[in-house]
Structure 1
Amino acid sequence: MKSQSRVVCSNKSPRVVDMTSNHSKNHANNISEGDDSSLRSLSSEDVSQVAPRGYCCAKSINPADGRGRKLHLLQMLVLPFIPIMALIVQTSIMLNDIVILRRESMDIENQVTAATELGKVVTRMQLERSEVAFFVYTNGTHYRTNLEQRFQLTNEALQNMSFWPLTLHFEDGRKVYLDRETFLKNLTTFRQTVKQSEETTITDVLSWYTSVNSAMLEQMTQQIKETDTSGVWRYLLAFKNLLKSIESTGVASVYGVNYFGQGFLKRRNYISYIQHDSIARDLLNTSLNYVPKLKKEYQILTMTMHEYGNIKKNNDIIIRNEQINANYTSALNYFDSIALYIDELRKLQRSLRVTIGDYVHENLQDAAHQEALGIAILVVVLAVSPVIIWLVHNAVATIQLYAANLSKKAKELKREKRKSDLLLFQMLPPSVATQLKQTRQVPAEYYASVTVYFSDIVGFTEIAAISTPLEVVTFLNKIYKQFDAKIECYDVYKVETIGDSYMVASGLPVKNGNKHVAEIASMALDLLAGSKHFKIPHRKSEKLQIRSGAHTGPVVAGIVGSKMPRYCLFGDTVNTASRMESTGEASKIHISLEMKKALDAIGGFRTEERGMVEVKGKGLMETYWLTCKEGGIHRNVEIEAPSYFAEDEDNEPVFIKRLRNENYF
């Protein structure tokens, strides 16, 4: 085996060796700390520890740990809860608006009811006024209808009123509030006076009934809210104005009857007629403008009513107020035509009342439907919300469980990857291995000055010849484990072991200036001193002797091959260092002239001249012995050789120990 090794070393071509990665102490520390681009594997734990920009609490929401798991669950439950709460609030607001709309619709219905009741009372009072005025005008000799029945109808309308705020306004400016019972009592007294006394005039009748109707219409005006957004106020105002128009028409008709019955109107009565007739027309036009439907019905009325032309003709005659012959029959005919016209206007009034009722009914139905829909939506939202929260909770729990399992597997993968990375870095230099892992090509690199060290075991051929293969392997393993432990103290790389040959280099792949010479020299002295205490395990009586050699010079290093790549050194420096070892002597360190000069430049080392030595393939070379360091304490630590196959022997590789020390197990 030894002779074969020398044949390789004697080749004149540049020697090629593969460089395994037994790291120096500094690079071992680098491996322990890890190359972030090669050692670290990405896991959920790593992701959780990388805080996004602007978010300093990313680590606390890691769904794989305890506190982060709770915060993550809370966050995921809050997220769907926000739109649910917004929907509940929106639905509640909508429902509140619907309730308000329903309340407004009911208020409108109350307005319509009050206006309808007041309208009925005013209508009955107007009819009663017409009958009483006709009775007074004929001095009680003629009845158009039965007054008692008319009085009874008016009383029923008064009794059916759901409220009774009535204030009478008199011409002298007095305002008198009357309750229902008092008003009915006064009304009964006035009726009896009209029937029993012949001194009652039409003026008295107009004054009494007009004041009552004015109070009723004033109350109706107070009931109608023009700011109502529903639009029903237009119908109510049209209803009120139509009543007032009928009221003014009725009052004007009394003066018209007097004109035809007396042949002339006094100035005061004439002015009153003109005022009431104008007011009646204006109020009627206002009502028709408020309700277009009513306007069409009135146009139909004017075209179908036979007496409408006579009414306009008589109105023109009264406005001229020319002296005519008093004619009782003309007065009765005028009264009948006006009564017929007022009856037609009341038909419009009833039609308008039906329209108002339908409008209010539609509003109430729409409000009720919207309220039912709002309640249904709110109930559905409240019922579905717990289900959504429950589903989200289950989904988040499943995600967290998966994240926890994934984190556990990622940690296991990370640990195994670190073990494989450290094992790889035992075989290749870290920088080279990192580039290869990143699928990069590693170009060959020239190193102007490195120091290469070789050593072998003296008499290894004889020892191997009388030993079993297992004993040889055990022997080499123990001596190289000791050497491996010692070189950890130096900035060197273990290149390879071929049989008993041990090769170390310094100054590559990471350049260290001119320190490589001192590092190799110190290491060589340390290995030599340590070997003197090592005993061959299966031959306790024999001590180990090694022969060492070193040389300083340039080399080229790089990766050769793609399958099982090797970091190889090329150059004559490697061959020369090997010749220094092969031509050396036992327990001595043989160095070249180049290395001696480098050591002298640094200082601190003693050498002895050996003289000229014939080196195969090189000729005569001036060489030296490296003897010791000048002063200082050697970094060697005496390591006693462990007993052969002892039970407490630590056979774990270095990288496994490092992982164990770094708490990866």
Structure 2
Amino acid sequence: MEKQVSKISSNMDTSSIHSLSSESLSPKSYRCCGETTNPAHGKGRRFHLFQMLILPFIPILALIVQTAILLNNIMVHRQEVMDVETQVTIATELGRIVTYMQLERSEVAFYVYTNGSTPSILQRFEMTDLALENITNFPPVALPQEGGGMVEMDLTAFRNRLNEFRQKISSEESSMSEILAWYTAVNAAMLDHLTNQIKETDNSGVWRYLLAFKSLLRSIEGIGISSVYGVNYFGRGVLRDYNYINYVKHDAIAKDLLNGSLNYVPYLKNVYKKLTNAMKNYGSIQNKSDTIVLNNKRTPNITEAIDYFESVASYTNELRKLQQELRLVIKNYVNDDLQHAANQEAIGIAILIVVLAVSPIIIWLVRNAVATIQLYAANLASKAKELKKEKKKSDSLLLQMLPPSVATQLKQTKQVPAEFYSSVTVYFSDIVGFTEISAVSTPLEVVTFLNKIYKLFDARLECYDVYKVETIGDSYMVASGLPVKNGNKHVTEIASMALDLLAGSTHFKIPHRKSETLQMRSGAHTGPVVAGIVGSKMPRYCLFGDTVNTASRMESTGEALKIHISSDMKKALDAIGGYKTEHRGLVDVKGKGLMDTYWLTCKESITHRTVEMETPTYLQDEDSEPVFMRRLRGEDYN
């Protein structure tokens, strides 16, 4: 029985309205890494504070890392652009040296082919030497040495070798091939180094300008070589087979490289057209080139050779202007790239500084916000705990006023429909002579007396599957079989309870009249009833039907210290067995007429009708009385 009552109470607790005040804020609802923590107190608070601080720190750290990577990429790009600038500077200076060597080669060739008729060769040597003195980065280049072979030379070795070679220059044709080969080898070595420099910068956007620069420089080199053979043709009258082949080859290579350079940088085509249109002798250069290609033997003419030399020199000077234009484009491009890289680097540094400056502020704000939330959570948890306690008290009080199942349904749906029960047992009892006792007693004594006896009865009801319906004055009403149906157990539950209460009442002393014992009159009946909630302000679970009236008549027509039952209840007890009854006979019941009734005496295993009943210790205190009574007297009830 106790297990059943406990189960009903437990079901009521779990099925009641789930409010925020209990489970939702209890520490059990906070779990992290499989461990229960309370975010409002102690280690749980520190752990959750650490978690909340980590959350903003992760994106901040990611932003710092991203900005650092971006800044590093910008700095790497800037370094690459600076390297390109250095390489462009080296290429420009090297191209200048190549240009002076080309001019010197043309002067030397003209000097040889005209048998030393030009005195400007020494001035050309001085200009080349001055360019070599002003170069800041002269790369070691592999140059031809005496006796054959190649040797790597630095600037000093190259200048010594150049001066030695200049001293051996003669006007004989036998040395011309050697002169031409040496200058060509020097320029080829420098141009190869320039090409290697450009290959290293093919990842930057300036590479096509550098390639155009290199192609234009090689085109000028080809024109210079071919012009040497052209001067030879006009100065000697004919080109021998080897010289003719070299002329045609270098002339074709020069034109092809020039076209490639113009294709790499398309806007140079317009510049080239303007340069050629402005040249007065551009057409004569083409005509003389066609004449050399025919290679018809003619009378040597120094004047015509000088005119051809000057025309080609003028044309190459125009191409060098084009080269200067391209060099300016490269410089501007590199400068713009450097400026852009510097701007990006400044922006990256500024972003990094802002992130580093703002990060502590964000973390501090988050910490304050989390601390405020945790303080609020702690207060809320405390209030929720108090609310849970109060809810338990209110639920306990509600369960004492209404059946657990009915109370649960009433809280959840706010309405409980009436229900018909085909068979329940209803019990009534009252106190014999209560009116006389009340007449000679003070109200306080009457209340104290009723409070003690009903506490005794209420304590014994916990042992049975019964529901206390109500008390009206000295009348005590109990039912079994509702609102939770229990089959046919309701008859035995009421019978056992009635015997128990009767036995207890015989040992109860009236508090303010110690010499008198309590005399109870009890009655019970089994039958159908309708039960439901009545009222909304103070809802009561009420029973309706003839069964209630009959049970009340059984009590009112009974006798003191006896349990009066109807024949219907007697038949139900006989069907189950285990109880003894005595036939009373026919009784005139108001509103029912004559009824055959019985006395319930005891259980079959018990020989005496009255049984000793242990009274709870809190009821043995004669001074025990309701709290509100102490308030009325102004006593301290704490």
Fold shared, TM-score > 0.5 on shorter chain: yes
- 2:221 pairs with 1:247: yes
How far apart, CA to CA, are the structure 2 residues paired with 1:255 and 1:349?
Answer: 24
SS at match of 2:338: helix
Match of residue 344 from structure 1:
318
> Which residue identity lines up with residue 181 of structure 1 in the other structure?
T
CA pair 320-356 structure 1, distance change in 2 beyond 3 A? same
- 2:514 pairs with 1:530: no
> Which residue identity lines up with residue 470 of structure 1 in the other structure?
L
Match of residue 385 from structure 2:
411
Match of residue 593 from structure 2:
619
Match of residue 24 from structure 2:
46
Match of residue 607 from structure 1:
581
Deviates more, 1:542-551 or 1:223-232: 223-232
Tell me by how many angstroms 1:345 deviates: 1.3
Match of residue 184 from structure 1:
159
Tell me by how many angstroms 1:33 deviates: 6.4
Structure 1 residues 257-281: Cα deviation after superposition (integer angstroms, max 9, x where no partner): 2222222222222112112211211
CA pair 398-642 structure 1, distance change in 2 beyond 3 A? closer
> Which residue identity lines up with residue 453 of structure 1 in the other structure?
Y
Query: 5+ residue gaps in structure 2?
Result: 629-638
Structure 1 residues 38-67: Cα deviation after superposition (integer angstroms, max 9, x where no partner): 265323753567879xx9858735533444
- 2:564 pairs with 1:590: yes
Match of residue 7 from structure 1:
none
Q: Contact between 2:25 and 2:381, CA under 8 Å: does it hold in 1? A: no
How far apart, CA to CA, are the structure 2 residues paired with 1:507 and 1:636?
Answer: 27
Match of residue 20 from structure 1:
none
Structure 1 residues 152-198: Cα deviation after superposition (integer angstroms, max 9, x where no partner): 22122223241331111489972222232222112112223337x87
Match of residue 332 from structure 1:
306
Match of residue 429 from structure 1:
403
Match of residue 510 from structure 1:
484
Which residue among 174, 194, 197 is the counterpart of 2:149? 174
Q: Contact between 2:25 and 2:384, CA under 8 Å: does it hold in 1? A: no
How far apart, CA to CA, are the structure 1 residues paired with 2:517 and 2:180?
Answer: 153
- 2:15 pairs with 1:37: yes
How far apart, CA to CA, are the structure 1 residues paired with 2:22 and 2:518?
Answer: 53
SS at match of 1:156: helix
- 2:435 pairs with 1:457: no
SS at match of 2:482: coil
Equivalent runs, 1:570-585 vs 2, <5 Å: 570-585=544-559
Match of residue 129 from structure 1:
105
Q: Contact between 1:447 and 1:556, CA under 8 Å: does it hold in 2? A: yes
Match of residue 255 from structure 2:
281
Q: Contact between 2:448 and 2:626, CA under 8 Å: does it hold in 1? A: no
SS at match of 2:76: helix
SS at match of 2:99: helix
Match of residue 69 from structure 1:
45
Q: Contact between 1:454 and 1:581, CA under 8 Å: does it hold in 2? A: yes
How far apart, CA to CA, are the structure 1 residues paired with 2:337 and 2:457?
Answer: 102
- 2:471 pairs with 1:486: no
How far apart, CA to CA, are the structure 1 residues paired with 2:359 and 2:406?
Answer: 59
Q: Contact between 1:274 and 1:319, CA under 8 Å: does it hold in 2? A: yes
How far apart, CA to CA, are the structure 2 residues paired with 1:538 and 1:641?
Answer: 19
Equivalent runs, 1:432-451 vs 2, <5 Å: 432-451=406-425
CA pair 100-401 structure 1, distance change in 2 beyond 3 A? same
How far apart, CA to CA, are the structure 1 residues paired with 2:530 and 2:463?
Answer: 25
How far apart, CA to CA, are the structure 2 residues paired with 1:292 and 1:631?
Answer: 124
SS at match of 1:274: helix
Structure 1 residues 545-594: Cα deviation after superposition (integer angstroms, max 9, x where no partner): 11111111111111223332222111111111112112211111111111
CA pair 242-35 structure 1, distance change in 2 beyond 3 A? same
SS at match of 2:168: helix
How far apart, CA to CA, are the structure 1 residues paired with 2:618 and 2:308?
Answer: 148
How far apart, CA to CA, are the structure 1 residues paired with 2:617 and 2:138?
Answer: 121
How far apart, CA to CA, are the structure 2 residues paired with 1:227 and 1:357?
Answer: 14
Q: CA RMSD in A?
A: 2.7
SS at match of 1:590: strand
Match of residue 293 from structure 1:
267
> Which residue identity lines up with residue 30 of structure 1 in the other structure?
I
SS at match of 1:91: helix
Query: 5+ residue gaps in structure 1?
Result: 1-22, 654-665
CA pair 32-465 structure 1, distance change in 2 beyond 3 A? farther
- 2:276 pairs with 1:302: yes
How far apart, CA to CA, are the structure 1 residues paired with 2:306 and 2:69?
Answer: 64
How far apart, CA to CA, are the structure 1 residues paired with 2:360 and 2:274?
Answer: 64
Match of residue 99 from structure 1:
75
> Which residue identity lines up with residue 90 of structure 1 in the other structure?
Q
Q: Contact between 2:452 and 2:625, CA under 8 Å: does it hold in 1? A: no
Tell me by how many angstroms 1:73 deviates: 2.2
Q: Contact between 1:238 and 1:290, CA under 8 Å: does it hold in 2? A: yes
How far apart, CA to CA, are the structure 2 residues paired with 1:44 and 1:485?
Answer: 29
How far apart, CA to CA, are the structure 1 residues paired with 2:32 and 2:131?
Answer: 80
Match of residue 658 from structure 1:
none
Instruction: Tell me the percent identity.
Output: 67
Tell me by how many angstroms 1:105 deviates: 0.6
Return the structure number with greater relative CO, CA threshold 8 A, min gap 6: 1
Deviates more, 1:31-40 or 1:484-493: 31-40
Q: Contact between 1:533 and 1:641, CA under 8 Å: does it hold in 2? A: no
> Which residue identity lines up with residue 394 of structure 1 in the other structure?
N
SS at match of 1:303: helix
Deviates more, 1:265-274 or 1:173-182: 173-182
Equivalent runs, 1:641-656 vs 2, <5 Å: 646=622, 649=624, 651=626
Deviates more, 1:83-92 or 1:134-143: 134-143
How far apart, CA to CA, are the structure 2 residues paired with 1:646 and 1:526?
Answer: 21
Deviates more, 1:257-266 or 1:110-119: 257-266
SS at match of 2:468: strand
Match of residue 86 from structure 1:
62
- 2:191 pairs with 1:235: no
Q: Contact between 2:555 and 2:564, CA under 8 Å: does it hold in 1? A: yes
Tell me by how many angstroms 1:490 deviates: 1.2
SS at match of 1:162: coil
Tell me by how many angstroms 1:32 deviates: 6.0
Q: Contact between 2:114 and 2:302, CA under 8 Å: does it hold in 1? A: no
> Which residue identity lines up with residue 13 of structure 2 in the other structure?
D
CA pair 179-565 structure 1, distance change in 2 beyond 3 A? closer
Which residue among 211, 216, 223 is the counterpart of 2:190? 216
> Which residue identity lines up with residue 605 of structure 2 in the other structure?
G
How far apart, CA to CA, are the structure 1 residues paired with 2:617 and 2:87?
Answer: 115
